[in-house]
Structure 1
Amino acid sequence: MTIVSATQARANFQSLISRAEYKSERILIQRHGKPVVAIIGLEDLKRLEALDDAIDSAELRQAVEQNDGFTTLEDINAARGVNE
């Protein structure tokens, strides 16, 4: 991973975008020596979002399994005689 200061990032923004897009490089931008943001390619972002969705789904499944009183929308509609 490449680390650059905010000043360097500002001066070389187009180059950093190209490196992230075409070389799949991950660029960490620091302000006052502390990491604050990153530039990543779109494919990396898609993988991160898919991973985040998978974690959310796993947590939901776990919550459903642990909650004996869990009721789905389908169950509520069926009890009320509502057709979807």
Structure 2
Amino acid sequence: MECRTGCAACCIAISISSPIPGMEDGKPAGVRCVQLTADNRCSIFGHPDRPAVCSGLQASVDMCGDSDQEAFHILKRLEEETKPGF
């Protein structure tokens, strides 16, 4: 499966604990990554500064569903289920 252009669910819905250029402490869940452009594309895609966790994500039906909205729902649920103390 290929990423849906402009979806950006994984760049917004989930927390990222790795440093991101412009977000040295990572980003909390639900916060838009500062590296997203206005059309929801990663401005550091393919650059060495891109966190390994980001480049390691692979689009899949289990993670992305059938629409951008479904991807947000799935990723938000996964984020909540993986919080300590859930």
Normalized against structure 1, the TM-score is what? 0.21
More helix by share: 1
Q: RCO greater where, 1 or 2, for CA within 8 Å and sep 6 or more?
A: 2
* Structure (1 or 2) with the larger CA radius of gyration: 1
